[in-house]
Every structure is written in C-alpha cells, then in structure tokens.
Structure 1
C-alpha cells in the first residue's frame, strides 16, 4: 500500500494559482528561453550531464540512420525529450521521451533495441529502472485506442470546455472548503472512462492484459502531446485524411500521399488541446481522489504510480483551452497565404492576415513572431524615412 500524500504538499490548484498570480508572462517567457537556450546552443551537457552520452548511445544504435517524418528518428527522439524537458516533466518521463519508441510501438516499427530481457537490461542500464519501465509500457500499449478511442473520442469539445470549468470549481471547493459532491457530471464521466484503478488494454504483441494506471494514462497523454507536436505537419493531414482538423484518423491514404507534400503546418493543435484538457481533468480528479483518501484516513492503493508527478505544461493557458478545429484551419491558411504571398499582396495586407491568424489561434508562437516582425519592420522603415527627410 502506498502512503497518502503529505498534508503540506502543494496541490495542483494552489500551484496553478500561485504561478499565475505571482509571475507575469514575461517571467514565464524568460523561464522558457532559459530552458531552451542549452538546446539552441547544442550544450546538451548543461541540460543533463548524461544527455550527450545517451544521444551517443542512440546514434550508435542506428537512430540517426532511420528516416522519421521530417528528419531522422534520432532528431525526433531528442525533439520529444526537449519538449518534455521544457515542460518540466519528471526526469523519468523525459528519458522515456528520449527512448520512447526504442522497442518499436503501435505506430511505428523502429526498434533500435530488442524488446527481449537482454535488450531491456541494456536500456535499463542507460536510463534507470523507472524510465525503462515507462519506455517498455509506452511501446507495448495500443496507443491509438488508449488515447483516442478510450479518451478523446468520448468527449465533444463543448463538453471538455464545460468540464474544465466545473472541475476547477470542484477542486477549489474541496481544497479550500473541504466540500465534495460525488455525483458531479465531470467526475462521473471521467471515472467511467478512466477509473481510479486505471485502464486495462491489450499488449500489442501478445494480446495479454496490461493495466495502465490512471496517472500513467495522464503521462502517456502528455507524451503523446509532445510526440505529435514535434513531428506532425500537412503530410500527415493528407495521409490520415484530416481535412476537418480534428485528427480522427478517418483514412490512411498511403498510396496517394507523397512525402513531404506541400509543407504546410499541420492541423494537429485541436487534437493536442483536447489531450491537454483531458490531462487536466485527470490531474484534478487525482488531486480530489488523493485529498479524499487522506481526509478519510485511508492508504492509497498500490500500483497507482504515485511517484509519477503530473506537471502542467505551459501551453494552451495551462492546458485549459480547447482550440476550435475550424479556427485552427482558418489561422493556418491565413498564415500560409501571408508568408507565401507577401510580395504579391503587400506588407499591409500580409500584416492584416497575420493579425487575424493570431486572433483565431493565439497559441502558436510562430504567428505572433511573424506579426511582430512586420510591426518592427514598419517602425524601422518609418525611422529610415524620417532620417532621410531630416537630412
């Protein structure tokens, strides 16, 4: 039996509120830039003293020789690790991201280490038992059914938005006032699809039952967010017939989708935002569950992966916003037309389109950066003209 959480531990609600009340956007941006700088400079040892060695291990295993989406498999593994690290995920989760398909998985067959006992011992020696366990589980669960069929496809966007709102109210009540309502609709729904004991799935190779704890379900949601955001672009939209922007895998047009396609940004952010929303619901339900068990003097059941910290990534306003799929498409198309046809349409029109794009999807830094360049450029042009007039 696992011990209950410490009564003086910082809750999700308290932590979330303190972060938003104590620090401004500039501070958060500085923190992100600080965590990104070693990656930008190639100073991997500044991120983790073992990271250069681990990258060398992956390279020696052939990860750099395998094509993967828009680069090599090694590029992708390091990209997922980078995202998780910048999101301040636990070390074991970050290392799982670095080796996340090392035994192959339900999406790709890129095994660079054999999933045998000897192969697992090798990986375990590099990343440690906790991370290797996550890597192995990530590779044997049927991720498509787990993430999409069992979770994402069970909610409408409107339902997620409402449940995010009501779950925040619920959490505040139980944390601050000690009040709890058992039959709240958001909790009933979440518990029905992701109960406290977790979700049972089938091993992708053997068909044996595999129990994935609820906290581990949340971790795999987090990792899938990082995984998809690192690699997806318009090629996958064509491949999976994602014309509605919801990434529902309605087709598999392998014969008519030629890589790399037109190179547009992918329509994956609605899907990622729904993953983030469900992740937040699980985090909040976990806080309520643990608080209730502690209040009632009960020990937490074993096998719940209590040691896995569930962090809130600094994206989508703390994983609380669901991006409308149609707004996502409009924003992408406005951006693409503006950056591809600036010379033909002129700076004023391009700036107008980028501003509309940002309004439709404020969660993409690239859009804001491009718009900022226009603002800066216009100011520089005005200054040059003024200097010319002044002689």
Structure 2
C-alpha cells in the first residue's frame, strides 16, 4: 500500500507565486492585455447573466484566469475572456452580434484574437472534441470540423495553432464550469444524450443540485491535454497547461468516478468520524486514484492535523496547493478557488507550526501570518 509520503506532489513555488498574483478580484484590472476589454464586456450585462455555477462574468473571468496562470499568449487569453460572446451551440448568451459587430470587436482586441473568438463560437465544439480525441488531427496538426447550423453544414480546416488554442481553451472552460449538475443535464458530453425529457428527469435538472464535483469530465480534460502533448506539431504551438504533469499523465474515467465518490462520502459525513481511520483511508484512496485535484488532499490535510499527524498534514497541504495552483479554478465548486487556497495555506501554516486548535471554536480564529 502507498505510504502517505508518496501520495503528494511537492509544492511548486514558481507556480504558487503565479497563482498568488491572481487571487484577488483586482488581478484583471492590472492585466495590460485584458483590462481594456473588461469594461466593454461588463457593459453588455455579463455580470447579471446566470451561467452554470455563477454568473457569465464569473465564467469568462475564471476561464481567462486559468489561461493566464497557464502562461498563454494574449490572443488565447482574450479568447478565454470572450469565448462565448457571439453565442454558441451550448449557450444562448449573445453579447455581440456576429452579423454587425465583428468589426467593433476587432478594433477592441485585434483581428487575430477576434478571429479565434468568432471561430470558437461558430464551430461545432462537441465535434471538435470528439475528432481531436479520436486522433483525427492531420500530420501537420490541422483538423477539419463542421460549423454550427442546419444541415448540410460547411466544414472548415482548423490550423494547428487554432486546434491547440481551442483545446487549451476547452480545458480551461471545462474546469471552470463543470460540476454534477452539468454531468446530469449534459449526460455523455460530447455525445450528449438529448433524449431525456425534463418533465421525466426533473430531479436531475433541479439547479444547482447537490454541488458534487464532476465525476466524469476531468478524464476528458486529461485526454485533451494528452492529445496536444503527444502530437508534435500541436505540442509546440502553445505552452502546455501544468495540469496532469504537463499534460503527460492520463486519468482513467473509472478512477475519476471512484475518487469523486470516495471524496464525497467523506464530505457528506457518510464515513464514521468518531475514529478518523475510515475517512482518512477513503481520502488516501481517492488521492491514489486521482492525484490531480487539490480538494481531497486539502481535506486529508485537515484530518491529519486533527489526528496529530503534522508532517503528513504538511505534505498533504503542499500537494493540495500544487494542484490548486495548477488549475486556477476549483474542482469542488461549493467554495471559490481563492477560498480553497486560503484555507489550505492555513492548514500548511498550522502543520508547520504544530499549532492546530484543540477547541472547536478556535477554528474560527485562524489567520494566515
């Protein structure tokens, strides 16, 4: 059996410093590339629109934040901030009319960035994911994909750069928005089951549902990353995201689902907590199956602290921080990304100082020093 020493990645200090710069809400106003665009987008009401686990503003900014953390170039980060503003097959949120406002957006962000945004909005994104994961990218990295609309649909040939940009943006888009409600209503994405009627399956449609993390989409994100990493003409187009060991490690769908179930069983107090061994073992197994998200490691760090296992707690907290800083968004969306990092840093500080509170009320007094 794996010893706790072997479960957790060491803390990536350069990645932590990049993440810390993005923690407060003002980071976007300091970004020379994105800041001039934000007021124009906000003027279109994105802060008032519902979108998945938050507002449309939360979503657009969250995707741009991951892409910024991943060191993507200006055009790709702008794609993240604007990736659905023309609407698309999934989201009926048209903030700019493609028929009349493309020139306005081109003047704002430049033609290369606007071209990416328009193409990302108008192509069949489900088919893009399916074809890329099926290995249909050509030897030079290009990929044919249909545009949205009624049949017969026109195909376009995406360049290797466009394929890489859309794959990386799709990875960021998925981690920002996907949780169990999406698993239910977008069953089997990208081959979504469209036969289920809301009147019959109303319980699945009840937003936001139990707010479990996704049990199926991280493995797809891992596969998208590997599709880039293993195709030489695609791998050299853009910086590879630091998730899944630089997009080199796979995640089996069965392991993802099992790890999520184990994590949720502890979070929902389905494991006996009079003695911590059961909950600790469940979380350790969750980390073995899916070491690529921070939340199970963070909860495990707190259990270790409660059991007086300070060294193990410090290792778990460092591993959790590394994963949080690799994503730029939370997997467990009950709490925002910056709050997960804030609590994990408290856990790490407490483990290093051997100072975990003995009284329950003192948990409310913890502060980072």
TM-score band (shorter)? 0.7 to 0.9
Cα contact 1:84–1:94 (8 A) shared by 2 = yes
Deviations 1:300-359 (A, max 9, x none): xxxxxxxx9421111101111111111111100110011110784333321221111111
Cα contact 2:141–2:234 (8 A) shared by 1 = no
* Residue 192 (structure 2) aligns with: 249
**The residue matched to 2:37 in structure 1 has which SS?**
helix
* Residue 82 (structure 2) aligns with: 99
Deviations 1:161-198 (A, max 9, x none): xxxxxxxxxxxxxxxxxxxxxxxxxxxxx5x5434272
Deviations 1:23-64 (A, max 9, x none): x943xx222222222332222257513534422221111111
The answer for unaligned runs of 5 or more in structure 1 is 1-23, 155-189, 288-307
Cα contact 2:28–2:35 (8 A) shared by 1 = yes
* Residue 315 (structure 2) aligns with: none
Cα contact 2:127–2:146 (8 A) shared by 1 = no
Determine which of 266, 269, 275 is the counterpart of 2:214: 266
Cα contact 2:228–2:234 (8 A) shared by 1 = no
* Residue 44 (structure 1) aligns with: 27
* Residue 214 (structure 1) aligns with: 160
TM-score, normalization: structure 2?
0.73
- 1:135 aligned to 2:117? yes
The answer for unaligned runs of 5 or more in structure 2 is 1-8, 311-350, 359-369
Could you say which structure has the greater relative contact order, defined with CA pairs below 8 angstroms and 6 or more residues apart?
2
* Residue 338 (structure 2) aligns with: none
**The residue matched to 2:261 in structure 1 has which SS?**
helix
- 1:225 aligned to 2:171? yes
Residues 250/100 of structure 1: CA separation in 2 closer, same or farther (3 Å cut): same
* Residue 292 (structure 2) aligns with: 363
Deviation at 1:241, TM superposition (A): 3.1
Deviations 1:74-108 (A, max 9, x none): 11000100011111111110111100011011221
Give the alignment's Cα RMSD to 1 decimal: 2.8
Deviation at 1:209, TM superposition (A): 3.5
* Residue 200 (structure 1) aligns with: 144
Cα contact 2:29–2:35 (8 A) shared by 1 = no
Cα contact 1:38–1:47 (8 A) shared by 2 = no
* Residue 183 (structure 1) aligns with: none
Alpha-carbon distance between aligned partners in 2 of 1:248 and 1:321, rounded to the nearest angstrom = 24
TM-score, normalization: structure 1?
0.69
* Residue 15 (structure 2) aligns with: 32
Cα contact 1:64–1:74 (8 A) shared by 2 = yes
Residues 328/36 of structure 1: CA separation in 2 closer, same or farther (3 Å cut): same
Alpha-carbon distance between aligned partners in 2 of 1:209 and 1:77, rounded to the nearest angstrom = 27
* Residue 373 (structure 1) aligns with: 302
* Residue 132 (structure 2) aligns with: 151
Q: Tell me whether 97-106 or 202-211 shows the greater mean CA deviation.
A: 202-211
Residues 254/215 of structure 1: CA separation in 2 closer, same or farther (3 Å cut): farther
Alpha-carbon distance between aligned partners in 2 of 1:32 and 1:45, rounded to the nearest angstrom = 18
Alpha-carbon distance between aligned partners in 1 of 2:50 and 2:268, rounded to the nearest angstrom = 28
Residues 50/321 of structure 1: CA separation in 2 closer, same or farther (3 Å cut): closer
Deviations 1:100-139 (A, max 9, x none): 01101122121101102x4112212222222111101111
**The residue matched to 1:57 in structure 2 has which SS?**
helix
Deviation at 1:234, TM superposition (A): 0.6
**The residue matched to 1:108 in structure 2 has which SS?**
coil
* Residue 112 (structure 1) aligns with: 95
Alpha-carbon distance between aligned partners in 1 of 2:110 and 2:190, rounded to the nearest angstrom = 34
Cα contact 1:138–1:220 (8 A) shared by 2 = yes
